[in-house]
Structure formats: structure tokens, C-alpha cells
Structure 1
Amino acid sequence: MFKKLLNSFALALHNIRTRLFHTLLSILGIVIGVGALVTVLSLIDGLEKFAKEQITTTTSLKAVMIETNTYKRVNDVGVQKEDYGYLNYERFKTFSGAITIPATGYIEFGKNSEVLLSDSSKVGVGVNGVNALHPTLAVLETGRLFTAEELTAKTPVAFANYSFAKQVAGKDSVDTALGQTIAYKDKVVKVVGVLKSKGREKPELYLPISLFSDDELKADPPRVMFEVDEVEQVQAFKKDAELWLRSNVAKDTTDFRVMTNEGRVEQAAKGFLLFRIVMGMIVGISVIVGGIGVMNVLLISVNERTVEIGVRKAMGAKKRDILLQFLAESVTVSLFGSLLGLVFGILFAMGAVPVIKAFADVPFEAAYTLNTFMVITIIAIVIGIVFGTYPAMRAARLNPVDAIRRE
């Protein structure tokens, strides 16, 4: 059987070579269709790769975020809860110690407010209560951050970002902001450090979160972020965190949302899969048109080779031998057209990338994955079988006497 199959493909290649120009014209549709499909898939793969890179560079896949949900749904309406669980600094420390999976935790309370400077002027600033800053954010221009001892002792110190320090210093150097006193409600803190500038940024002031009362924290519950040491342990950490919060802090099961950035990656992947399917179906119309071209070239081939078919059947060839020969020819023609379309699609995608970069100004590249090449191969085989079946059956049904008499 395998030998017959090889002979059928060899004969198919011979017949294609004898009518090469006619075959090329007939498979033009499949070349264009497959080329368009390759271009679309490679550009979508490139977009997906770019999106994942952006997600992983702007947010850590090791991060676990915890937010307090202060609303509940009643008759499909969001209603403020009367009571809910939340994390203050003491509960956060207990929480961090209870989770056995290695991770670094950050808690932050934030609120925009007016503060009073040492010269009695009032300015607007984002007031943040924190236990620490992530190392990527804690880059100092001058001075220092507050210490763990100051955090525990509730020492009234603070550090500012560069934008707020410039407001405090006025025309002087930001170094002069060090030692200045800032009054926020009933708190008077001394500035001990200034963060390095990040360009355009809103003014921010960072205080030890231990300085804030439970009433302040409950009114606007802090956000918590943990950076897990190993990305493989993120899901396990999330489950442990949800269990601890439900058991020790939550008033009901909806009080906390525990989120990871893996969900963002999965959502992006689902979106691109949907986009890939929709665009594939649209471009697939061109591939179907190409399949009709394959059927056309085979029907012409059957008409031109009726005598050959008659002689072969008269000499003992069975219906399945003729059927196999023309199906092999159909698959070969489809594979040949798909190969040309693959080359055409790759070249077109390579030409499209500089145009996209020129307009979008992003580091975007087309991506060629194994899945794309497998899809094209499967499409070629399916087209060959589907659109080659009718011509092959027509050739197999020819009566040898009638076929020879046509000459």
C-alpha cells in the first residue's frame, strides 16, 4: 500500500511538471489564500508575543495583589457594605508570618489630600502610608527611606518623590526639602529622603503606614502586594492567602479579591485566540477559492487523460488505484500551492513589519510559530482531499471502453 502511495505521488509530480504553467495559474487562488493566512497568523503571533512581553515587563508574574471589596451586590446593584474585613499594619505582619511560601510583602494606603508646609502654605499631594517600597521604586535622589524600626515605633518621618520635594524646596535644591516638616491632619512628619525623578509624575508623600489609625484605614482599605520568590509558587500562595484571609479577617467571602498577573496573560491569550479564529475564517474564504482552482485543474486533467485512464483500467487497474492516483495529485498540487503561499506570506509579513513600526513606533516583529506551519500543512492536505475527491471519483468511474473510444 505504501509503495502504491509513493508511486501515486511520483506520477502526480510528473503530471504537474508536464503542465506546470497551467497548474501555476490554477493554484494562484490557493497561493494567495495561504499567503494571506500566513501573513495574518504571523502578525497576530507577533502581536501576542509583544503583548505578553509588555505585560511581563510592566508587571511581575510573581506578584499577588490583594484588595478589599467594600461593596456587595443586592438586586444587581452595588451597595456599600456596613462592615467588612480589611488589613491594617498589625494584621499584615501576622498575615505575612502565617504564609510559609517565601515572599516579600508590601502594604499601601493612598489618598489625595492637602498638606500644610513649614511655611504655612497648603499644597495638594498624594499621601501614601507604606511599610516599604519595591526596590525598583525605592531609588533615592538624596537622604534616606524610613527604617523598619521607625515603622514599628510609629516615628513621624516621611520621604517624598522628586515632584513634591521640588514644591517644598521651591527654587532651591531638593536637598533643602530634607528636614522640612509636613502637616497632614493630626500628623506632623519630617522629610528624611527624596526619590529620584521619573519625569512627569504627580506629587507623592510616603509615611509609615503604622501612623494611620484603624478608622482611616477602614474608610479607604490598603492595597497589599506580595512578590513571591518563585513564579511556580504563585498559585499556591494565592490559595494560602485566600484561606488565611477568610479564616482570620474577612467578614464574608466577598471581602477580599486576590489577583495575579497570570490572569492578564491568560486573558490576552484568549483575546488573541479569538482574533486568530475570526481572521482565519475571513481569510479562509480565499483558501476555499484556491481549493476550487485545484478541483478545476484536476477536472481538466481527467478530461485530457481519459484514454490513459481507460488503458490503465483495461490493463487491470482497480477503481481505488485511479482514485488514489488523482487524490495524490490533488494533495500534491495543494501542498505545492501552499508551499508557494507560505513563502509569499512570510515575505509579505517581513515587508509589513517596517510599515507597522513606522506608524506605531513600537518594537514589533512578526512571529513564525510551529503551529502556523502545522495549520498550513493540514489545510493543504484537507483542501487536496476535499476538492480532489470529486475529480478522483469521476476518473475512477470511467468505463474503460468508453474512455478509449473518445480518442
Structure 2
Amino acid sequence: MLKKLLNSFALALHTIRTRLFHTLLSILGIVIGVGALVTVLSLIDGMEQYAREQITNTTSLKAVMIETDTYKRVNDVRLQKENYSYLTYERFRAFDEAMTLPATGYIAFKQNSEVQLPDSSSIGAVVQGINTIHPTAATIATGRLFSPQDVAAKSPVAFVNHAFAKQAAGKSPAQTIIGQTITCKAKAVKVIGVLQAQKQEQPEVYLPISLFTDDELKTDPPRVVFEVENVEQVQAFKKNAETWLKTEFATDTTDFRVMTNEARVEQAAKGFLLFRVIMGLIVGISVIVGGIGVMNVLLISITERTVEIGVRKAMGAKKRDILLQFLAESVTVSLFGSLLGLVLGILATLGIVPIIKALTDVPFQAAYTLDTFLVITIVAIVIGIVFGTYPATRAARLNPVEAIRRE
């Protein structure tokens, strides 16, 4: 069987060589269709890769986030809860100590507030109560950050970002704010540090979260983030966190949302998969037109080779031998057209990517994945079989006597 199959493909290649120009014209549709499919899939793969890089660069895939859900749904109506559980600094410390997997925990309380300066003027700023600043958020430029000991001792200290320091200092250097006492949220604190300047920043003041009362935290419940050591530990840590919350807040476990950034990656992947399928189906129409061209070249080939088919059947060739011969020829022609389309698609992306970069100023690259090549191969084989079945069946059904008599 394998020998017959190889002979059939060898005969198909010989036929293509002897009628190369006619074959090229007939498979032009499939070349264009496959080329368009390769271009679309490569560009979409490149978009997905770029999106994943952006998500990874802007957020940590090793982060597990816990937020209080202050809303509920009643008859599909979103309503504010009157009572809900939330994490305080003491509960956060218990939470952190209860986790068995190694991780660094951050708790942050954020509210917009008016901050009074020593000269009785005020600045609108984002006031944040934290236990420590995230390393990726900013680095200290002048002075120092408050320490875990300052948080535990409820020391009345604070550090500010560059935007706040610059606005508070006026014409003086930004670092002159250090050592001054400011008042925010009815708390007088001494400024001990200024963060480095960031792009498009707004005035911010950072206080030890231990300075805020439980009632103050309840108005806008803190957000907790744990950074695990390895991405592989994220799901296990998430389950541990959910278990602790259910145990600690057994009266109502619907007050908390435990999330990871992996969900964002999965959502992006689903979106690109949907886009890939839709665009693939649209471009697939041109591939079907190309398949009709393959069927056309086979029908013409059968007409021209009627006597040859009759002689083969008269010499003992069975229907399945003729069927296999023309199916092999159909698949070979389809693969040949798909190979040319693959080359055309790659050349097209090489020309399109620079245009995209010039118009969008984005470091975008097309991605050629194994999945794309597998899809093209499968498409070629399916087209060869589907559109070659009718011509092959017609050739296999020829009566040898009638076929020879046509000479």
C-alpha cells in the first residue's frame, strides 16, 4: 500500500512538471489564498506576542491580589453593601504570617485628600497608607523611606513623590520639603524622603498604614498584593489565600476577590484566538476559490488523459488505484500551491511590518509559529482531498473500453 502511495505521488509530480505553466495558473487562487492566510496569522501572532510582552512588562505575573468587594448584585442590580469585611494592617500581618509559601506582601490604602503645608497653604494629593513601597513603583531620590519599624511603631513620618515636593517647594529645590511637617487626613507627619521623578505623575504622599484607624480604612478598603518567588507557585498561593480568607471571615466569604494577572493574559489570548478564527474564516473564502482551481485542473487532466486511464484499467489497474493516483495528484498540487502561498505570505509580512512600525511607532514584529505552518499544511491536504475527490472518482469510474475507443 505504501509503495502504491509513493508511486502515485511520483506520478503526480511528473504530471505537474510536464504541465507546469498550466498548473501554476490553475493554483493561482490557492497561492493567493494561502499567502493571505499566512500573512493574517503571522500578524495576529505578532500582535499577541506584543500584547503578552506589554502585560508582562506593566504587571507582574507573580502577583496575587486581594480586594474587598463593596458591592453586591440583587436581581441583576449592582448595590453598595452596608456591611462588608476588609483587611486592616493587623489582619494583613496575620495573613502574611499564615501563608506557607514564601512571598512578599504589600498593603495599600489610597484616597484623594487635601494636604496642608507649613505655610498654611494646601495641595490636593493622593494620600496612600502602605506598609512598604513596591520596588517597581519608584526609588528614593533624597532622604529615606520609612522602615517596617516605623510602620510597627506608628511613627508620624511620610515620604512624597517628586511632583508633590516640587509643588510644595515652589521656586526652591524639591528636597527642601524634607524635614517639614505636613498635615493630611488630620495627621501631622514629618517628610523624610522624596521619590525620583516619574513621567506624568500627580502629587502623592505616602504614610505608614498603621496610622489609619479601622473606620478610615473601611471607607475605601485597602488592596493587598503578594509577590511569590516563582510563577509556578501563583495558583497554589492563591488557593492558600482563599482558604485563609474563608477561615478568617467565615461569616461572609463573598466580600473578597482574589485575582492574578494570569487572568489578563488568558483574556488576551482568548481575544486573539477569536480574532484569529474570524479572520481565518474570512480569508478562507479565497482558499476555497483556490480549491476550485485545483478541481478544475484535475478535470482537464482527466479529459486529456482518458486513453491513459483506459489503458491502465485494461492492464489490471483497479478503481482504487486510479482514485489514489488522482487524489495524490490533487494533494500534491494543493501542497505545491500552499508552499508558494507560504513564501508569498512571508514576503508580504516582511513588507507590511515596516509600514506598521512607521505608522504606529510601535516595536511590532510578525511571528511565525509552528501552529501557522501546521494550519497551512492541514489546509493544503484537506483542499486536495475535498476538491480532488470528485475528479478522482470520475476518473476511477471510466469504462476502459469506452476510454480507449476515444482515441
Which bin holds the TM-score, normalised by the shorter protein? over 0.9
The 5-angstrom pairing of residues 7-406 of structure 1 reads: 7-249=7-249, 251-406=251-406
Matched residue type, 2:90: E
Whole-angstrom CA distance in 1 between matches of 2:375 and 2:186? 67
CA root-mean-square deviation:
0.8
**SS of 2:253's equivalent?**
coil
**SS of 2:188's equivalent?**
strand
Residue range with higher mean Cα deviation, 134-143 or 148-157: 134-143
Q: Is contact 1:142–1:193 with CA below 8 Å preserved after alignment? A: yes
Distance apart, 1:349 and its partner CA: 0.9
Matched residue type, 2:226: F
Whole-angstrom CA distance in 1 between matches of 2:64 and 2:53? 19
Distance apart, 1:149 and its partner CA: 1.2
The one-character-per-residue Cα deviations of 1:362-406 (angstroms, maximum 9, x if unpaired) are 111000011110110011111111100111111111111111111
Matched residue type, 1:188: A
Whole-angstrom CA distance in 1 between matches of 2:56 and 2:115? 36
Whole-angstrom CA distance in 2 between matches of 1:39 and 1:184? 57
**SS of 1:257's equivalent?**
strand
Q: Is contact 1:32–1:286 with CA below 8 Å preserved after alignment? A: yes
**SS of 1:107's equivalent?**
strand
Unaligned stretches of 5+ in structure 2? none
Residue range with higher mean Cα deviation, 144-153 or 292-301: 144-153
Whole-angstrom CA distance in 2 between matches of 1:14 and 1:185? 86
Whole-angstrom CA distance in 1 between matches of 2:185 and 2:46? 51
Q: Is contact 1:112–1:125 with CA below 8 Å preserved after alignment? A: yes
Whole-angstrom CA distance in 2 between matches of 1:287 and 1:184? 67
Distance apart, 1:61 and its partner CA: 0.4
Aligned residues: 407
Distance apart, 1:291 and its partner CA: 0.3
**SS of 2:254's equivalent?**
coil
Whole-angstrom CA distance in 1 between matches of 2:374 and 2:232? 30
Whole-angstrom CA distance in 2 between matches of 1:185 and 1:43? 51
Matched residue type, 2:390: Y
Distance apart, 1:185 and its partner CA: 3.4
Q: Is contact 1:86–1:250 with CA below 8 Å preserved after alignment? A: no
The one-character-per-residue Cα deviations of 1:312-342 (angstroms, maximum 9, x if unpaired) are 1111111111111101100000000000000
Whole-angstrom CA distance in 2 between matches of 1:376 and 1:392? 23
Distance apart, 1:83 and its partner CA: 1.4
Whole-angstrom CA distance in 2 between matches of 1:103 and 1:249? 22
Distance apart, 1:138 and its partner CA: 3.9
The one-character-per-residue Cα deviations of 1:334-361 (angstroms, maximum 9, x if unpaired) are 0000000000001101111001111111
Distance apart, 1:246 and its partner CA: 1.6
Distance apart, 1:74 and its partner CA: 1.2
**SS of 2:7's equivalent?**
helix
Matched residue type, 2:271: G
Q: Is contact 2:113–2:185 with CA below 8 Å preserved after alignment? A: no
**SS of 2:183's equivalent?**
strand
Q: Is contact 2:142–2:175 with CA below 8 Å preserved after alignment? A: yes
Q: Is contact 2:31–2:341 with CA below 8 Å preserved after alignment? A: yes
Matched residue type, 1:169: A
Matched residue type, 1:129: G
Whole-angstrom CA distance in 1 between matches of 2:162 and 2:171? 13
Distance apart, 1:250 and its partner CA: 5.8
TM-score of the pair, normalised by structure 2: 0.99
Distance apart, 1:186 and its partner CA: 2.3
The percent of aligned pairs where both chains have the same amino acid is: 76
Whole-angstrom CA distance in 2 between matches of 1:72 and 1:306? 76
Divergent runs of 4+, >6 A: none
